[in-house]
Amino acid sequence: MPRHGLGDFEQLILLATIRLGDDAYGTAIAEEIEARTNRSVSQAAAYLTLSRLEEKGWISSTVRSGRDGGRARRYYTVGDEGLTRLRESRDELFGMWEGTSFERSA
């Protein structure tokens, strides 16, 4: 039973990865989501979701040494598959939100 699209957390992970661009590694991704959503995100949750997404081929990663020393980091990039899924999720969600009186603002 393959799933239809993205889970809600997967979506946040992909968006955070895109946002961070060249600096998207595990801990930073978790912090980006925390910062923008006021929701606490454990590192483990982020890492586990990242590796599941990588297994599916929606993102890819490479290890690069930290520039300022420190332990090497695994940096992530969202691939074409991931971008496609994101667009689908966006269309579904925005289509349902539109015109609900919830659509914007607080």
Partner DNA sequence: GTGTTTAGTATACAGAGTATAGTTTCGTGA
Partner DNA sequence: TCACGAAACTATACTCTGTATACTAAACAC
Binding site for a copy of itself (CB under 8 A): 4-8, 11-12, 15-16, 18-19, 33, 36-37, 39, 86-87, 89-97, 99-100, 102, 104, 106
How many residues belong to the chain? 106
Residue 25 contact, options DNA, a copy of itself, none, Cβ 5-8 Å cut-off depending on partner type: DNA
CB of 93 to a copy of itself, least distance (A): 7
Instruction: Give yes or no for residue 35 binding DNA (CB under 7 A).
Output: no
Q: Which of 14, 15, 16, 49 binds DNA (CB under 7 A)?
A: 49
Q: Which of 27, 36, 87, 97 binds DNA (CB under 7 A)?
A: 27
Q: 30 Cβ partners below 8 Å, 6+ apart?
A: 41, 42, 43, 45, 46
Other beta carbons within 10 angstroms of residue 9's beta carbon come to 15
Instruction: Give yes or no for residue 5 binding DNA (CB under 7 A).
Output: yes
Q: Beta 73-78 vs 59-64: how paired, if at all?
A: antiparallel
Q: Which is nearer to DNA, 53 or 104 (CB)?
A: 53
Round the CA-based radius of gyration of the chain to a whole number and report it. Answer: 15
Instruction: Give yes or no for residue 26 binding DNA (CB under 7 A).
Output: yes
Cβ-contact 74, 26 below 8 angstroms: yes
